Chains A and B, each alone.
Chain A
Amino acid sequence: MNGARLTIGQGVAWSFLGIALFLGLWTSLSVSGLVPRQFLPTPMETAARFLSLFTSPFAGATLPVHLASSFRRYAYGVLLAAAIGVPLGLLMGWFRLLDDIVSPIFDGLRFIAPIAWVPFAALWFGTGIGGPVMIIFAGAFPPCLINAYRGARFVEPRFIEAARMLGTSDLRMIREILLPSAVPSIIAGLRVAAGLGWQSLVGAELIVAAAGVGFMMVQAQASVQTTTVMSGMIAIGLVGMLIDVLLRQGEAWLRRRRGLEA
């Protein structure tokens, strides 16, 4: 941290100032006429639309229904990424051979943006749930694997030596030594994965035909309903923040429970 410490009150005040400046700039831009009003609605118009979407449906559903639909795909994608990525990362962290086999493929694939999978997701899964789940999976998988792998590779050597002298088998080593000592790294990876998965949502829902925030935004864009598009963006931002806050809380709780923070 650089600079003088602020009290909580001062910090909150400055945060509000930042938000106020942002909204002010936004408002002046959209009322100035520099951009067509239709392409940049004011914050007030957007807020009104955001609230109205809770009661009046757009593209077949209200905003909460769209969100629920999105969240289901998102949860499947992220859980699948964690369920495969974390164990695979731990195994790669212990078995050198597996590391040598998987790493080159993985290192190539992970730089392909989730949205680049859209054409294949559409071809392979059509409009079913598989396509969006696959795209969210593509976003969430790398941090799950990388952090589990790093956590396993950087376990303190004395724990591994102690476990080996106690005659611990490979599988038990992974489950009872690598996994628990990698937990902080894995949790950090899951947080990143949760964020990246949620960011991949709009891309994932380009190929959805029923409901979802991304779907709603694509439909609104087609009919130039910019306030609806922006409402979708706000919803995504707010839910993303909420997910992050909840995961931080979970992480802190886990740390306390493990006695890592005195």
Chain B
Amino acid sequence: MGSIRFDKVDKVFGPKTGGMKVLEGIDLVIGEKEFVAIVGPSGCGKTTCLRMVAGFEAPSAGSVSVNGREITSPGPDRAVVFQQFALFPWKTVRENIDLGLRNKRLPRSERSDRIAGALKLMNLESHAEAFPHQLSGGMQQRVAIARAYVLDPEVLLMDEPFGALDAQTRVVMQEELVRLARRNPRTVLFITHAVEEAVYLADRVAIMTRRPGRIKEVLDVKPVRLAENWDRLARIEDVMDLESFVHLRTQIWRSLREEKGPHGV
């Protein structure tokens, strides 16, 4: 239940020959209830990796599968949290969260129970009847996370979910996601370009090269986190001060730095 497998995946945009190759030979297995973050320079194809798991894009070669089933189309077993939230502006918070449950044809009473649970989980109880445009960016992203969690998906796909938020809101959301992920572990594929965010949230961090993107190396964060007991600290800045955190972060930075262009861009 809930493992993701990339098997020798290539992705070419445009014509098969002469098109733009964005991914090359991606091999990655994300285990059951494992939280994996992919970091990489912009344009390296990390979002394309997620979009293939979601079923929005098909690989040009190789295969992407979830629980051994090859992915052919999008579905509620693979819930996505988008960078730009993608909440339906004409639906209230409750209606946004409800859509996936209605699509599953769940009975009304079960739906309202699950919505209540998701609202509570994301501290949204007092905003159930609000429309997205009445909420701040952080609140909107909470709704998007609630909309994904309420489906109880096998895997959760997060595409730079905090990239559009201001710095303070982002920190709060990162801390909440850590609490959520530790209390209620899921299989998560998390795309980001923020190294600290990846180290703070993930069990493993995959580093990608410049285009065409390949997986350069995969770092194990979880053993360090458990050994140093990062989770005793509630605040992200305290975790980020720990020597073990700094060490991992620097290691990833160095690796990414080698991927920057000759002018550091």
Chain A interface residues (CB < 8 Å from chain B): 158-159, 161-169, 172, 176-177, 180-181, 183, 258-259
Contacts and interface: CB of A to CB of B under 8 A. Distances in A.
The 7 A-B pairs of least Cβ separation, nearest first, read: A166-B100, A167-B76, A180-B90, A167-B103, A162-B86, A158-B86, A164-B74
Given A164-B74, A169-B103, A176-B99, A259 B88 contact: no
B54 A165 contact: yes
Given A159-B86, A181-B90, A172 B78 contact: no
A243 to B, nearest CB: 26
22 contacts: A158-B82, A158-B84, A158-B86, A161-B54, A161-B56, A162-B87, A162-B88, A165-B75, A165-B79, A166-B76, A166-B99, A166-B103, A166-B147, A167-B75, A167-B103, A167-B104, A169-B103, A172-B103, A183-B90, A258-B89, A258-B90, A259-B89
Interface of B: 54-56, 73-76, 78-80, 82, 84, 86-91, 99-100, 102-104, 131, 133-134, 147, 151
Contacts of B88: 159, 162-163, 176-177, 180
Contacts of A259: 89, 131, 133-134
B80 A165 contact: yes
Nearest to A262: B133
B99 A168 contact: yes
Given A181-B90, A258-B89, A162 B104 contact: no
Contacts of B102: 172
The majority secondary structure among interface residues of chain B is loop
Given A167-B75, A176-B88, 10 more contacts: A161-B80, A164-B56, A165-B54, A165-B79, A166-B151, A180-B88, A180-B90, A181-B90, A259-B131, A259-B133
Contacts of A162: 80, 82, 86-88
Contact of A161 (B74, B75, B76, B131): B74
Contacts of A183: 90
Contacts of B151: 166
A186 B228 CA distance: 59
A181 B90 CA distance: 8
Contacts of A161: 54, 56, 74, 80, 82, 86
A165 B78 contact: yes
Contacts of B73: 164
Nearest to B153: A165
Contact of B103 (A158, A168, A180): A168
Nearest to B147: A166
A150 to B, nearest CB: 18
Nearest to A162: B86
